[in-house]
Amino acid sequence: MDKIAVVIPAYNEEASIAAVVASVHTASQEAGIHYWPVVINDCSKDRTGEIISQLPCTAIQLPINLGIGGAVQTGYKYALLNGYTHAVQVDGDGQHPPTELLKLYTEMEQKGYDVMIGSRFLDGTGFQSSFTRRLGINYFKRLNNLLVGVTINDSTSGLRMHNVKALKVVNKDYPDEYPEPEAIILYIKNGLKIGEVQVEMQERQGGVSSIDSISAVYFMAKVTIAILYTYIRLTFR
């Protein structure tokens, strides 16, 4: 039977993390698939580390803050080393309902994808994010299409599932600060097949977003440079 590691990066998520872990177990029972929460406490300053140590999950306590990319890669490394057949990122703030994981898994297995991304924008249902963020998401969709000829409608979505082939790629190389758009280049340049499936996301259930409207322009510029660097590095390696 397939085993799916549900990788949950958590930084100051004391308000929502217990509910997220509980929802993973509920979704596992309902789907009849083995999901197991792997929570990575990215050196939180609140009670996140204490809370997850008492929950039914694998609790990984990072000694220093690695950022979202480092925390997620830690979870992927754990999944690969411990014999999981798939690993899927689910954010610790409650935006990614684990009930949607069955859609990713089913689509992935039926169509032979290596990476399956949960998209908010295929039919426009569920939480659609802010107007500013949607502009940025559309920009990265066009940039990635220009560079690698693949259209991913929700390239900033963190809700994404990897099979073992993809885990071997991200185990060696994964972007750090804002990894999702940059990882699209990484997937394509390593010959991975990417798909999208419509999911319904929620507004964050607690904590504070790391990106606000003031930092949006800086974020887009920084990620653009990172995407271009990754493209050049992998094209001419």
Distance CA 162, CA 219 (A): 25
**Poorest-pLDDT segment among 54-63, 136-145, 215-224:** 215-224
pLDDT tens track for 157-211: 999 999 999 999 999 999 987 899 999 999 999 999 999 999 988 765 554 445 4
Amino acid at 88: V
Strand partners, 195: 116
Identify the pLDDT of residue 126.
53
Report the relative pairing of strands 86-89 and 160-163 from DSSP bridges.
Answer: antiparallel
Spatial contact of 51 and 18, defined as CB atoms under 8 Å apart: yes
Distance CA 153, CA 201 (A): 15
User: Mean pLDDT in the chain?
Assistant: 90
Domain encompassing residue 119: 3-235
Identify the pLDDT of residue 162.
98
pTM greater than the 0.75 cutoff: yes
Overall residue count recorded for the chain in this entry: 237
Residue 97 Rama label (left phi>0; alpha psi -120 to 50; beta): beta
Identify the pLDDT of residue 131.
57
81, 74, 45: which is closest to 59 by C-alpha? Answer: 74
Strand partners, 40: 9, 60
Spatial contact of 47 and 14, defined as CB atoms under 8 Å apart: yes
Counting the structural domains of the chain, the total is: 1
Residue 67's CATH number: 3.90.550.10
